[in-house]
């Protein structure tokens, strides 16, 4: 991490002792590697008419999301798609307050039998879709993982109910689905 990147990432902790900076660098690197999703940017579709919303303002928040966007844009079965255009209210288990969930993608596509399928898709690391394993010692990292898992579960339950009401499907894509090797 360059000095400029460190200053931007750590803010007031930039001038901390070297051992603190080293630990923070290690944690930041672990987070990037764990998620594999460090790059953010603006997606420019080849087929802007397929996009439901402003095709000049499509933002990806990870390389995994970008990969899904490229696939949706190129896939002939996909008639229309949107990114973070749908808002679903949910109650957070952390503060018991109402929040807004923006699923990553909404897709309208033709299935193999020619019927129209409507699907909400969330892209997440597999680790965030499974209950964290309890360590011997209760660490801050474990507490954060439990909170993230709980919030994700609340969001996904709300999304499943929303989709059920509309006759849509809800799908969570992890690296297992995104990077599946062909078995042929």
Residue among 181, 178, 180, 182 nearest 71 (CA): 178
**Which residue numbers are catalytic?**
65, 104, 124
The structural domains of the chain, with segments of one domain joined by +, span 1-35, 39-178
Q: What is the CATH number of domain 39-178?
A: 3.40.1350.10
pLDDT in tens, 78-124: 999 999 999 999 999 999 999 999 999 999 999 999 999 999 999 99
Measured distance CA(149)–CA(132) in Å, rounded: 8
pLDDT in tens, 113-170: 999 999 999 999 988 888 888 888 888 989 999 999 999 999 999 999 999 999 999 9
Pairing of strands 105-110, 78-83: antiparallel
Q: With a threshold of 0.85, does the pTM exceed it?
A: no
The side-by-side arrangement of strands in the sheet containing 105-110 is 78-83, 105-110, 116-123, 169-173
Residue recorded with tokens 């309890």: 134
């Amino acid at each position: 991490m360059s000095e400029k990147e460190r200053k931007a990432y750590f803010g007031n902790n930039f001038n901390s002792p070297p051992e603190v900076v080293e630990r923070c660098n290690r944690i930041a690197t672990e987070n990037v590697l764990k998620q594999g999703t460090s790059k953010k940017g603006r997606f420019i579709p080849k087929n802007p008419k397929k996009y439901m919303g402003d095709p000049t303002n499509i933002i990806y928040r990870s390389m995994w999301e970008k990969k899904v966007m490229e696939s949706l844009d190129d896939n002939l079965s996909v008639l229309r798609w949107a990114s973070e255009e749908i808002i679903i209210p949910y109650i957070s288990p952390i503060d018991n307050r109402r929040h807004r969930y923006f699923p990553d993608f909404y897709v309208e596509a033709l299935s193999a039998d020619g019927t129209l399928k409507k699907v909400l898709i969330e892209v997440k690391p597999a680790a965030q879709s499974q209950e964290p394993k309890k360590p011997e010692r209760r660490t801050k990292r474990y507490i954060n993982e439990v909170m993230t898992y709980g919030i994700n579960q609340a969001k996904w339950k709300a999304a499943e109910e929303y989709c059920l009401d509309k006759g849509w499907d809800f799908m969570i894509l992890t690296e297992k689905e995104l990077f599946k090797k062909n078995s042929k």
